[in-house]
Amino acid sequence: MADDVARARKFYETVFGWTFEAWGPPGFFLIRGAGIEGSLHARAEPLTGTGYRAFEVTIGVDSIDAIEKKIVPAGGVITQARMHIPTVGTLLYCNDTEGNRVGVMQYDR
């Protein structure tokens, strides 16, 4: 969910290369090219307080270097620097333009 759907779309298009398909009510989009079933749409009510804004998702990527370089220019914020988890991969966390926490993982091969 997003406060500004157009801004959030641009973030995910720029950082992860996702595309979106208009579906159903105005401002409701299906996420395409992400390897997941999901949607992007406006919040039903404003956020209050602090803490996690939604469920935590971690997105597997081929190159964490390439993705990390795109986050801040696309309007996101890196909230936890990359770290390597032995036998798993390299992980960082960011907030998207809407304040949603997103994990980015380049899995070890």
Instruction: Please give the structure tokens belonging to residue 89.
Output: 């991969």
Q: In which residue are the tokens 């770290």 written?
A: 83
Contacts of 51 (CB under 8 A, 6+ apart): none
Closest CA to 24 of 40, 9, 11: 40
Strand partners, 6: none
Position 95 confidence tier, pLDDT thresholds 50, 70, 90: very high
pLDDT one-digit tens code per residue, 36-49: 778 899 887 777 77
Q: What is the pTM of this model?
A: 0.71
Quote the DSSP letter at residue 89: E
**Domain segments of the chain: what residues?**
5-45+53-107
Q: Which residue type occupies 16? A: F
pLDDT-wise least confident of 1-15, 20-34, 77-91: 20-34
Q: What pLDDT, on the 0 to 100 scale, is given for residue 49?
A: 75
Contact 1, 97 (CB under 8 A): no
pLDDT one-digit tens code per residue, 26-36: 888 999 987 87
Q: Which CATH number fits domain 5-45+53-107: 3.10.180.10, 3.40.50.11780, 3.40.50.620, 3.40.50.300?
A: 3.10.180.10
Cα dist from 86 to 19, 55, 57, 75, 103, whole Å: 32, 25, 20, 30, 17
pLDDT-wise least confident of 57-61, 90-94, 103-107: 57-61
Closest CA to 3 of 88, 77, 98: 98
